[in-house]
Amino acid sequence: MTESVKDKAESATGMLKWLWLTTVVVIIDQITKLAVDGSFEKYERLEILPFFNLTLAYNEGAAFSFLAGAGGWQRWFFTGIAVVVSIMLVIWLRKLPKNDWWSAASIALILGGALGNLYDRVAYGHVVDFLDFHWQGAHFPAFNVADSAITVGAAMMIIEMFWKPGSAK
């Protein structure tokens, strides 16, 4: 039995159609960062709820400001990592079976977050963070929409490992 042209095209591109979700994450991430960066002074805070503020912070390091004060080399180091990981995620997405929407969504979210923060790092030399959760004077490190997408995508992958044991790709 021969495959139709549509089936051949779908099998060649895997789940690349999920790049729409990646695009949505990058757009929302960049719009929110621009809005906060254009409205706040660095470290200015606006209390939204008793446990949540909007604030403007610049992160020159990685997660939780890891290596933030390393002297500048970390900008290009983390840029390189983000580029390599993004390429690997696109390849992984392309190789997914066309019915594996859960994995596709999780990869697309992680990719969108990686690209959103990659843009900041290349364009500004730092990542713009603005979501500030706190409790009784203790603040969780500020983060952004891209970080949230990465976290949700990673959580989805972890859930999948328990949901479908042996499904690690």
Catalytic residue among 100, 120, 132, 147: 147
Q: What are phi and psi of 132, to 5 degrees?
A: -125, 100
- CA–CA distances in Å: residue 83 to residues 39, 90, 139, 150: 30, 11, 30, 15
Catalytic residue among 29, 100, 120, 129: 129
Active site residue 129: yes
Q: Which amino acid is at 60?
A: E
Residue 5, judged by CB atoms within 10 A of its CB (0-12, 13-18, 19+), counts as exposed
| d(C-alpha 124, C-alpha 37), whole Å | 12
Active site residue 147: yes
CA angle 119–29–40, rounded 5-degree value: 95
What the block records as the tokens of 153 is 């995508």
- 3-state percent helix, strand, coil for the chain, nearest multiple of 5: 60, 15, 25
What the block records as the tokens of 146 is 């891209």
Residues marked active site are found at: 129, 147
